[in-house]
């Protein structure tokens, strides 16, 4: 079964600085998708960025970018020019691209709580 591990329960960053959140996953599959979701205190789950495993190029969305290392099964999120509004729980998630059974279910890590200091 696939697992997702976020080894940093909490992180802190100074406003305008850069922070990297770690995520590793375990799978025997070659085709899958990876996501980062943000959950602010308002509780809403907001998609931040996604990566298809077959793409070698790292995904980027404005200040958010990932470092996808398929061989190492690593998928870290970098937030540049951190803003106060970035403070939230960040969840890494894995989804198989296969079919049948429970394949295709989103599997979440436990999350990393990010604080942004003014």
Q: How far apart are CA 22 and CA 70, in angstroms?
A: 14
Residue closer to another protein by CB (options 43, 71) is 43
Is residue 18 at the binding interface for another protein, with CB under 8 A as the rule? Answer: no
Minimum distance from residue 45 beta carbon to another protein (Å): 4
Residue closer to another protein by CB (options 34, 82) is 34
Is residue 64 at the binding interface for another protein, with CB under 8 A as the rule? Answer: no
Confirm if 113 and 9 have CB atoms less than 8 A apart: yes
Using the rule CB under 8 A, which residue among 65, 97, 113, 115 binds another protein?
Answer: 97
Residue found by looking up tokens 């600085």 in the block: 17
């Amino acid at each position: 079964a696939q697992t997702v591990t976020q080894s940093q329960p909490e992180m802190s960053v100074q406003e305008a600085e850069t922070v990297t959140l770690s995520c590793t996953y375990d799978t025997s599959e070659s085709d899958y998708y990876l996501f980062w979701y943000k959950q602010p205190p308002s509780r809403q789950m907001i998609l931040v960025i996604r990566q298809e495993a077959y793409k070698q190029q790292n995904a980027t969305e404005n200040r958010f970018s990932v470092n996808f290392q398929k061989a190492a099964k690593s998928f870290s999120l970098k937030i540049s020019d951190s803003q106060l509004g970035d403070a939230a729980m960040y969840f890494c998630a894995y989804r198989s691209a296969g079919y049948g059974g429970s394949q295709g279910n989103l599997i979440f890590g436990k999350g990393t709580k990010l604080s942004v200091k003014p």
